[in-house]
């Protein structure tokens, strides 16, 4: 990194370096601070401080930038380096982002429904075990919720000869 920056500064009189979020790391931030080079990079959305800034962003608090865009300047000291972050919101990207979120929720919901159907086919030794499994399942739901779920006994045996192998005990199943 140092050799590359030195080469760029010598040959091109580099004043700003613009890069994507792959450049953003504590080590690179500290190297930039040592070189006194001005730089612009996208902050990775996986960074906890960036996630907090996005979660707390209120569209009404953002200043108009150009048509369809608004922004807010934030201060950060990530990686031990003072930084100025600019949070930019785009009306066009908002619609695209909403479609992405909707698609992810639909996929996640379908996975949860599939898991619930699988739970409904499981056998439990008693009603308490079935209710415990159901409660554990419900706590893990993120995209869906269950409304009026019942736990009741159902026949264990199905098919000729099955009674000879196991006693006919009720099986507890979940149904919505």
| 66 & 128 share domain | no
Q: How many domains does the chain have?
A: 2
* Residue 115 located in a structural domain: no
Write out the residue range of the structural domain in which residue 7 sits: 2-95
18-36 pLDDT, tens digit per residue, is 888 888 888 888 888 887 7
Q: For the residues 151-158, what does the mean pLDDT come to? A: 67
85-129 pLDDT, tens digit per residue, is 999 988 888 888 889 889 999 999 999 999 999 998 888 888 889
DSSP-derived 3-state class of residue 14: coil
Measured CA to CA in angstroms, residue 80 lies from 16, 84, 138 at distances of 20, 13, 42
Give the chain's mean pLDDT.
Answer: 81
| 64 & 132 share domain | no
Last residue of a domain, one of 95, 129, 148: 95
Q: What is the pTM of this model?
A: 0.53
């Amino acid at each position: 990194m140092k050799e590359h920056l030195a080469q760029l500064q010598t040959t091109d009189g580099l004043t700003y370096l613009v890069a994507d979020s792959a450049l953003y790391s504590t080590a690179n931030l500290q190297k930039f601070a040592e070189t006194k080079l001005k730089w612009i990079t996208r902050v990775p959305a996986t960074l906890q401080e960036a996630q907090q800034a996005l979660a707390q962003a209120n569209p009404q608090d953002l200043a108009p930038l150009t048509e369809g865009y608004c922004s807010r300047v934030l201060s950060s000291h990530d990686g031990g380096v003072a930084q100025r972050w600019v949070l930019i919101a785009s009306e066009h990207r908002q619609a695209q982002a909403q479609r992405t979120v909707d698609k992810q929720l639909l996929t996640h919901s379908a996975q949860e429904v599939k898991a619930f159907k699988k739970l409904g086919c499981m056998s439990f030794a008693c009603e308490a075990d079935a209710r415990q499994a159901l409660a554990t399942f419900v706590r893990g739901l993120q995209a869906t919720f269950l409304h009026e779920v019942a736990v009741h006994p159902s026949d264990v045996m199905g098919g000729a000869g099955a009674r000879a192998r196991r006693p006919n005990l009720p099986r507890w199943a979940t149904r919505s």
